[in-house]
Amino acid sequence: MAKLEAVILDWAGTTVDFGSFAPTTIFVEAFAQAFGFALSLEEARGPMGLGKWDHIRALGDTPAIAARWASQFGAPMSDADVDGIYRAFMPLQIAKVADHADLIPGTLETVAWLRERGIKIGSCSGYPREVMDVLIEAAAQRGFKPDHVVAAGEVAAGSRPGPWMALQNVIALGIGDVAGCVKVDDSAPGIHEGRRAGMWTVGLSLSGNESGLTLPQFLAADANHRARVRRRASVNLAAAGAHCIVDTIAELPEALLQIQARIARGERP
């Protein structure tokens, strides 16, 4: 029978950067800088969870954005255009990601809970390694140090929504059974990643991209407001197949205890 061996955590919107604002604001800035093209923050959030080049490509293929792009430039967005936006995105993101590296409340407490139980902590992100190197150092200064990190582009087979980054963590951590792993993410592609890897999955509804709340907005929200945002944010996570959905990483231990009980009953993901 499998036992709970590891959690694989996402980064922005899951452990750092409440509301996942670092990538979204930089996408808006990169589109404007590279091509003078106006992209809204809400539009930038659409494909969140994908690798960043793939994210830009997905934005360019979104019907409303594609129509505006063709109207402005007279042709669909090409892969060369995506390359140009990505080139603008990278230095901006490297320069500013540390500004959004504050830990989501509950991260250190949950990490301590996992350590006490001998549960390994892997992680992966849609950020490329150049960005992750900056973010890893900034998070370490705040006390968060996972056992392993996989960045987008480091696995030859590809990144989300495929299973490869999550499975690379399994290999690096020496996990005996993927059914003893839990993928934790605030985006639908990250939940798809975990399901395709054969893992349990936990979606985070209020700290990440699906809700888009800042930490002050989250803290100020009353129960009714949180319930409305939670319902809206949970739709994509549930559709992606999340086994459990909780508000933030602070509630992750509760979800893991539920998964442990299901494992004890002989269930598998």
**Residue among 3, 17, 52, 81 flagged as catalytic:** 52
List of domains in the chain:
6-20+100-264 (3.40.50.1000), 22-99 (1.10.150.240)
pLDDT surpasses 80 at 2: no
- Cis peptide preceding 161, ω within 30 of 0: yes
Q: What is the rounded end-to-end Cα distance, in angstroms, of the chain?
A: 13
Residues 6+ apart with CB under 8 A from 95: none
Query: b or e along 198-210 (b: 16 or more beta carbons within 10 Å of the residue's beta carbon)?
Result: bbbbbbbbbbbbb
Catalytic residue at 52? yes
pTM, to two decimals: 0.88
pLDDT tens track for 130-158: 999 999 999 999 999 999 999 988 988 87
pLDDT tens digits for 16-38? 999 998 888 888 988 999 899 99
95: which 2 tokens?
Answer: 């320069």
As a whole number, mean pLDDT of residues 190-198 equals: 97
Q: Is 183 a catalytic residue?
A: no
**How much is the average pLDDT of 43-61?**
86
What value does the mean pLDDT of the chain take? 93
Selecting among 10, 81, 185, 247, the annotated active-site residue is: 10
Model confidence at 1: pLDDT above 60: no
